[in-house]
Structure 1
Amino acid sequence: MSVIPEPSSALFAGPFALGTLSAPDGPPFPALVTPDAQVLDLRVAFGDERLTTRNLLETWESALPRLRALAGDSGPDRKRLAGFRVHAPVTPRQVFQSGANYRQHVIDLHVAHRAPGDGRPEEERRAEAADIMDRRASDDLPYVFIGLPSAITGPHDDVVLPAWAEKPDWELELAAVVGRPAHRVSVDEAPAYIAGYTIANDLTDRATVFRRDMPQIGTDWLRSKNAPGFTPLGPWIVPSKSIADPGDLRLTLKLNGQTMQDETTKDMIFNVARMVAYASESARLLPGDLVLTGSPAGNGMHWGRLLRDGDVMDGAITGLGAQRTRCVAETAQ
């Protein structure tokens, strides 16, 4: 059950954020949430019972001033956050995922995924990976692929580990939320198309990343990343204006209380604006879509410890709040 307790400090940066909540046994609704854990049902405020968070993002330029005004108005319709179920803040039509975008993370994975017959010492393979990252940065070639919206789940929901997943791993990531249709926008233009930011944990089964039956095919992102619930999202969409510098945010992930990932977005090879612009070169980005920007060092492959039944992951990003998810083996349900 995705219910969070009353917070002891501010939930996020800025005067408000967007969420999708529900009362016990009630339907999900778009909510304005304030840092002191007050909730306003935006269906009531906007006079539209069918309103969703994605609808707000589709009219972001006109909705944003109204949301700012509502955030500053402490009316009688406010309720306490405690007791509400917190869902993924938005249901996107498209999910753009990024791989190999944190320098140290890619180097660690390069070392961990030793090719059969490669007997070179670790130092040599690390140097090779570092050289590859330097060439990618100079050639300006981000790596973006498509994920499925059906993999998204709430920020406090249980994550089911499929019985076939031999090496399920965590990947905490900063996600940009698109607020305007974007096609072939420049890097300089890209920030204006970002409505806000949220947290994603882009789980991956390392055992199925590469096709064993036909290595020439390469990576199999459908199999390795898109099981139902493999992308815990949220809890909030924090407007981009409330995040001073997306290039200097701290990401931390704890597994059963032990810190596994602790890095800042400064280690990104390509910044958020470059990732959004690059995705828009080929695809038309739509309001509510997500652009995941890669995961920093400290994944399970690095630690030699993959996810298993009963594990609890706590993920947080500066100014965006925190998520907690528990892993449940499929056979244990």
Structure 2
Amino acid sequence: MSVKPEAASALFAGPFALATLSAPDGPAFPALVTADSRVLDLQVAFGDARLTTRRLLEDWDSAVPRLTALAAGAGREGRPLSDFRVHAPVAPRQVFQSGANYRQHVIDLHVAHRAPGDDRPEEERRAEAADIMDRRAAEDLPYVFIGLPSAITGPYDDVVLPAWAEKPDWELELAAVIGRPAHRVSVEDAHQYIAGYTIANDLTDRATVFRRDMPQIGTDWLRSKNAPGFTPLGPWIVPAESIADTGDLRLTLRLNGETMQDESTKDMIFSVARMVSYASQSARLLPGDVVLTGSPAGNGMHWGRLLRDGDVMEGEVTGLGVQRTRCVAETAS
């Protein structure tokens, strides 16, 4: 789907953001985008034809002053953003996904995924889910698992719904982008390893979340979350310094113009810093990696309305812009 980025209500917070763009029929390149929709090709500005957004993030501390200076002069030199196609802003080596991190969302899913034979009233099951959330918060145990980089697509690209996906659902999320190698970092220090933030829509086929052949195995995130294009990412990486408080950002997802998700990150059980710190206790996070931080209430399972061919999703996060993707049913081969 071809969408002009300037159709969004606002591009992003702060003076500049990072993007990966391409001219029509041209190769992709890392770009600095200003708040007034001007673009600088960073391969040209840095004098490095092999530069990518990820390589820029690998030397983020020294890159920031140069980017700030470039942004100040971009109005004189930059080209209009409307001249370019917008891709996913970075190609991460690792994707860390998060589940069950918004209190109301988890309660809603707990009620929607009624176990066979569970005939208790909804109020009782909601109370049970609330108790579970309180216990998780007290025990300080986030839920993080691995996604595939091959599932990432651009913020304005069509999303192909696989023929086997019976219940494809949306999950708008705030994503942190890593700017320094991070291993076993504390919650207090975690923010030092975050270069910036972007938007992710972590699509999930609800019908394949749990294994049917052997329920004891549990969840099947490979099958349910990692189809090609199931993680629209972007449009921008907004530097962390431009986002005042990740604990109070609004996430809004509209389906065909109707608001389905509209929640603050205040409803998170675990903060962004806690999620990054937790992931780093087991894995070594690398520059350019993305850490998804969970999705708020208002998914399709809650509304009883899953994604269909032709649906258009608009995902917006305060200060990070808007992504807009259209769902397309997989054609028979």
**TM-score normalised to structure 2 length:** 0.98
Q: Deviations over 1:114-169 (max 9, x none)?
A: 00000101000000000000000000000000000000000000000000000000
* Helix, strand or coil at the partner of 1:40: strand
Verify the 8 A CA contact 1:7 1:37 in the aligned structure 2.
no
Q: Is 2:89–2:237's contact at 8 Å kept on the other side of the alignment?
A: yes
SS in 1 for 2:73: coil
Structure 1 residues 186 and 83, CA gap change in structure 2 (3 angstroms): same
How far residue 331 of structure 1 moved from its aligned partner, in angstroms, is 2.5
Alpha-carbon distance in structure 2 between the residues aligned to 1:300 and 1:85:
29
Answer yes or no: is the 8 Å Cα contact 1:168–1:203 preserved in 2. Answer: yes
- Of 128-137 and 76-85, the range deviating more from structure 2: 76-85
Aligned ranges for residues 23-34 of structure 1 at < 5 Å?
Answer: 23-34=23-34
Match of 1:16 in 2: 16
Question: 2:111, 2:331 → 1: CA distance?
Answer: 32
Seen in structure 2, the aligned counterparts of structure 1 residues 139 and 6 have a Cα distance that, compared at 3 Å, is closer
Superposed CA RMSD in Å reads 1.2
Identical amino acids, percent of aligned pairs = 85
Match of 1:307 in 2: 307
Instruction: State the AA in 1 paired with 2:274.
Output: R
Task: Provide Cα deviations, 1:237-289, integer angstroms capped at 9, x if missing partner.
Answer: 00000000001000000000000000000000000000000000000000000
- Secondary structure, counterpart of 1:63 in structure 2: helix
Matched residue, 2:147:
147
The letter for the 2-side match of 1:217 is I
* CA distance in 1: counterparts of 2:332 and 2:172, whole angstroms: 25
Alignment of 1:103-118 (within 5 A): 103-118=103-118
Q: How does 1:120-139 map to 2 (within 5 A)?
A: 120-139=120-139
Runs of 4+ in 1 over 6 A off after TM superposition: none
TM-score of the pair, normalised by structure 1: 0.98
Q: Please state whether the residue corresponding to 2:331 is helix, strand or coil.
A: helix
* SS of equivalent to 1:57: helix
SS at match of 2:70: helix
Long gaps (5+) in structure 2: none
Report the counterpart of residue 38 of structure 2 in structure 1. 38
Shifted more, 64-73 versus 193-202: the winner is 64-73
Secondary structure of 2:212's aligned partner:
coil
Pairwise CA distance, 1:4: 1.3
Query: Are 2:269 and 1:269 equivalent residues in the alignment?
Result: yes
For the Cα contact (< 8 Å) 2:209–2:219, is it kept in 1? yes
Residue pair 1:187, 1:274 contacting (<8 A) in 2 also? yes
Q: Is it true that 1:56 corresponds to 2:82 in the alignment?
A: no
Amino acid at match of 1:29: F
The residue type equivalent to 2:48 in the other structure is D
How far did 1:73 drift?
Answer: 1.3
Post-superposition offset of 1:10: 3.8
Structure 1 position 81 matched with structure 2 position 81: yes
AA of the residue aligned to 2:139: D
Instruction: Give per-residue Cα distances to partners, 1:29-61, cap 9 Å, x unaligned.
Output: 000000110000000000011110001000001
TM-fit CA distance, 1:332 = 7.1
Q: Distance in 2 between matches of 1:75 and 1:312?
A: 33
Runs of 5+ consecutive residues of structure 1 not aligned to the other structure: none
Question: Does residue 102 of structure 1 match 2:102?
Answer: yes
The one-letter code of the counterpart of 1:209 is V
CA offset digits 1:184-227 (Å, max 9, x no partner): 00000000000000000000000000000000000000000000
Determine the C-alpha separation between the residues in 2 that align with 1:73 and 1:185.
Answer: 36
Q: Distance in 1 between matches of 2:236 and 2:22?
A: 14
Q: Note the C-alpha offset of 1:6.
A: 3.5
On the 8 A contact 2:38/2:75 being kept in 1, the answer is no
CA separation of 1:268/1:328 partners in 2, compared to 1, >3 Å: closer, same or farther? same
Distance (whole Å) between structure 2 residues aligned to residue 311 and residue 137 of structure 1: 36
